[in-house]
């Protein structure tokens, strides 16, 4: 028996100036299945989903929903056909309540005013029937990432969607939240919803999806049953070649200490101690991995080293000098490179051209400056060489950073920092939200600079990345370093229990 087809996209083509985002894409999604769409960043997954959701109009091709041919010119029309989308960057207004965010655009009315009581009861009903735990009157700004995602899902269900599109839903979640999300998705599937799931974390895709469609460079590569492939095979389909891995090559670590923290304490945003008496040393040619559930002081650790946050106690010795009171600029110029966690907010000026972005943080030194003036041609040449050397795929250095895919943006940021020849590189989640190919390039680069004697402080939520890359691992919990591990005999599971402060021997973790 063949189940009915919920959505079918045939020959979808979408061109943007200079790029073909989708080139004759075919996808067929059966009713009641979880259908994953995988591919590298820039493979055209998001474009395709925006077309299905009516945010973009395709140049060619047909769409059918439940057998009827449709064409959407706005999300409103897609919503009317029972399609809902959970965006990667949440579409929630912080200063409105959960309830307001959910009913916006489809408000229940009573004598001209919003019928708050009806709205609240239907929200609670939805929450209860799908096991989604939400509080209608909370302000969205107070919610955790996982809760925000549940609000997004409720928002879609509230509009009566039978077909849910989720755009990289796990990118922002910690492992426990991912499990909860998958439970919710299975519940939705059990109640007859069709789910289209975009991702590039292949183990997750294999865990949750029934069917997988692989896109590469805007084209459909193939559609397979999840049971018939391995992660390895999927990855090779995605990048069209052999799979890289973050395995460690043997090398020599110096005993020269690049950076030493002694008893460093820092007061956090909420005026409580976010970092308590941290001792840490990073050697020349060493990658020190920092693991921890987000919000346990990793951010403050980085900010303290960079000078973005004043020390409340302790000392920072960098290359033999006490830099504890130095200004950020001076620290950077003395050889600290920084790859920020959020490249959109801290790493790049999205609306500035690449060559301007390439000089951020180095705007006072050669080759970007001559005296107190910017050296335009020097900066452009330097940018060209960063683009070449780090394989930033771009039509030119005059286009804006916004036009690049996430992976290429990240390569530009990393290239910018490494090209300045730092002694210490702070890399915060350097491969977050980028595809396998770019990820491999970043790993390769980090390994290469380590071999050249650079010290790297690697903060990451990707436990495989930490174990695969780091020479030494520390775990942070509640602003303290609670464990130091050798990655060679650590498993993600063991790391996970240190991170949550659970009893390490619990659950029979392999030693």
Partner 1 sequence: MNPVPLKESRALRWMIAILGLVLVLSVTQELARPETTDLISAGTAGSTLRRAVPILLAGLGGIWAERAGVVNIGLEGMMILGTWFGAWGALEFGPWWGIAIGIAGGAAGGLLHAVATVGFGVDHIISGVAINILAPGITRFLSREIFATRTGGGITQSPRVESVGHVDFPFLSGGEVFGWASPDIFGWIADRGWFLVSDLFAVASGITSNVSWATLLALALVPGTVYILWRTPFGLRVRSCGEHPVAADSLGVNVYRMKYAAVIISGGMAGFGGAFIAIEQTGIYREAQTQGRGFIGLATVIFGNWQPLGALLGSLLFGFADALQLRDRTAVHALLLLTGVAVAAIALRSLRRRQPVGGAVLLAIAALMLWWYSVTESVMSELPPVTPHIATLLVLVFATSRLRMPAADGMRYRKGQE
Contact positions vs partner 1 (CB under 8 A): 55-56, 74-76, 79, 85, 87, 89, 91-96, 100-101, 103-107, 109, 112-114, 155, 402
Q: What ranges make up the beta strands (E) of 109-162? A: 109-110, 113-114
Query: Least distance from C-beta 112 to partner 1, angstroms?
Result: 6
- Exposed/middle/buried for residue 250 (C-beta within 10 Å: 0-12, 13-18, 19+): exposed
Instruction: Name the nearest CA neighbour of 467 among 144, 245, 202.
Output: 245
Element (H, E) at 468: helix 463-469
Closest CA to 461 of 338, 297, 288, 294: 294
- What is the closest distance, in whole angstroms, from the C-beta atom of residue 16 to partner 1 in the complex? 12
The two tokens of residue 399 are 């286009």
**Closest to partner 1 by CB, 101 or 298:** 101
Based on CB atoms, which residue is closest to partner 1, 30 or 139?
139
> Cα(51)–Cα(14) distance, rounded to whole angstroms?
9
CB 506, min distance to partner 1, A: 32
- Nearest approach in angstroms of CB 98 to partner 1 is 13
Q: Which tokens go with 324?
A: 């504890």
Q: Which is nearer to partner 1, 112 or 192 (CB)?
A: 112
Give the residue with the Cβ less far from partner 1, 152 or 462.
152
- The nearer residue to partner 1, 119 or 212, going by C-beta atoms, is 119
Torsion region of 18: left, alpha or beta (phi above 0 gives left; psi -120 to 50 gives alpha): left
3-state secondary structure of 344: helix
For partner 1, which is the closer residue by CB, 56 or 466? 56
**What's the closest the beta carbon of residue 76 comes to partner 1, in angstroms?**
3
DSSP state of 228: G
Angle, helix 116-130 to helix 175-190, in steps of 10 degrees: 100
3-state secondary structure 476-495: EECCEEEEEECHHHCCHHHH
SS3 274: strand
Query: Which residues have C-beta within 8 Å of that of residue 488, sequence separation ≥ 6?
Result: none
Nearest Cα residue to 285 out of 245, 329, 251, 238: 251
Q: Which residues are CB-neighbours of 366 under 8 A, at least 6 positions away? A: 375, 378
Name the residue nearer to partner 1 (CB basis): 94 or 489: 94
Least Å distance, CB 65 to partner 1, is 17
Minimum distance of partner 1 from residue 297's CB (angstroms): 23
Q: Which is nearer to partner 1, 370 or 402 (CB)?
A: 402
Instruction: Tell me how far, at minimum, the Cβ of 396 lies from partner 1, in Å.
Output: 21
What is d(CA 243, CA 232) in angstroms, rounded to the nearest whole number? Answer: 7
Packing angle of the helix pair 406-419, 436-451 (nearest 10 deg): 10
Q: What residues pair up with 338 in beta bridges, in sequence order?
A: 426
Which residue, 1 or 111, is less far from partner 1 as judged by CB? 111
Least distance from partner 1 to the Cβ atom of residue 68, Å: 20
Residue 137 CA to residue 143 CA, distance in Å, equals 11
Pick between residue 66 and residue 104 the one whose CB is nearest to partner 1: 104
List, in order, residues 6 or more apart from 37 with CB less than 8 Å away. Answer: 27, 45, 48, 49, 196, 197, 198, 199, 212, 213, 215
Indicate the residue among 133 and 254 with the shorter CB distance to partner 1: 133
- What is the nearest approach in angstroms of partner 1 to the Cβ of residue 49? 12
CB 188 within 8 A of CB 129: no
Q: How far is the CB of 384 from partner 1 (least distance, A)?
A: 27
């Amino acid at each position: 028996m063949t189940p009915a087809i919920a959505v079918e996209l045939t020959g979808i083509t979408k061109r943007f100036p200079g790029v073909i985002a989708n080139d004759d894409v075919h996808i067929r999604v059966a009713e009641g299945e979880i259908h994953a769409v995988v591919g590298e960043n820039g493979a055209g997954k998001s474009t395709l989903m925006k077309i299905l959701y009516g945010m973009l109009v395709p140049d060619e091709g047909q769409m059918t929903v439940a057998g009827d041919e449709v064409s959407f010119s706005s999300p409103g029309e897609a919503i009317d056909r029972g399609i809902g989308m959970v965006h990667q960057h949440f579409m929630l207004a912080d200063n409105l309540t959960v309830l307001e965010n959910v009913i916006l655009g489809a408000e229940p009315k009573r004598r001209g005013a919003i019928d708050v009581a009806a709205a609240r009861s239907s929200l609670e009903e939805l929450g209860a029937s799908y096991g989604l735990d939400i509080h209608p009157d909370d302000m969205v700004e107070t919610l955790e990432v996982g809760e925000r995602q549940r609000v997004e899902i409720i928002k879609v269900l509230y509009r009566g969607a039978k077909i849910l599109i989720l755009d990289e839903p796990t990118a922002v979640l910690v492992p426990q939240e991912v499990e909860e999300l998958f439970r919710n998705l299975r519940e939705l599937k059990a109640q007859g919803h069709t789910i289209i799931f975009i991702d590039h974390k292949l183990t997750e895709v294999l865990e949750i999806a029934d069917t997988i469609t692989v896109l590469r460079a805007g084209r459909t590569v193939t559609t397979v049953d999840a049971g018939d492939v391995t992660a390895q095979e999927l990855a090779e389909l995605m990048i069209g070649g052999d799979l890289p891995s973050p395995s460690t090559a043997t090398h020599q670590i110096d005993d020269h200490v690049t950076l030493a923290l002694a008893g460093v304490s820092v007061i956090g945003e909420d005026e409580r101690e976010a970092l308590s008496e941290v001792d840490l040393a990073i050697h020349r040619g060493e990658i020190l991995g920092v693991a921890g559930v987000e919000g346990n002081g990793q951010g403050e650790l980085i900010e303290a080293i960079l000078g973005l946050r004043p020390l409340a106690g302790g000392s920072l010795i960098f290359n033999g000098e006490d830099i504890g009171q130095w200004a950020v600029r001076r620290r950077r110029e003395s050889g600290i490179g920084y790859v920020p966690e959020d490249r959109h907010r801290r790493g790049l000026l999205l609306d500035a051209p690449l060559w301007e972005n390439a000089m951020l943080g180095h705007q006072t030194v050669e080759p970007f400056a001559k005296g107190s003036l910017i050296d335009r041609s020097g900066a452009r040449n330097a940018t060209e060489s960063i683009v070449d050397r780090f394989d930033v795929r771009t039509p030119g250095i005059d286009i804006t950073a916004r036009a690049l895919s996430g992976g290429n943006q990240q390569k530009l940021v990393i290239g910018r920092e490494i090209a300045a020849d730092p002694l210490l590189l702070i890399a915060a989640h350097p491969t977050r939200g980028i595809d396998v190919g770019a990820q491999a390039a970043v790993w390769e680069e980090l390994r290469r600079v380590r071999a050249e004697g650079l010290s790297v402080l690697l903060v990451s939520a990707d436990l495989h990345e930490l174990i695969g890359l780091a020479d030494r691992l520390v775990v942070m919990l509640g602003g303290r370093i609670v464990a130091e591990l050798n990655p060679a005999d650590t498993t993600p599971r063991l790391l996970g229990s240190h991170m949550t402060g659970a009893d390490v021997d619990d659950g029979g973790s392999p030693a």
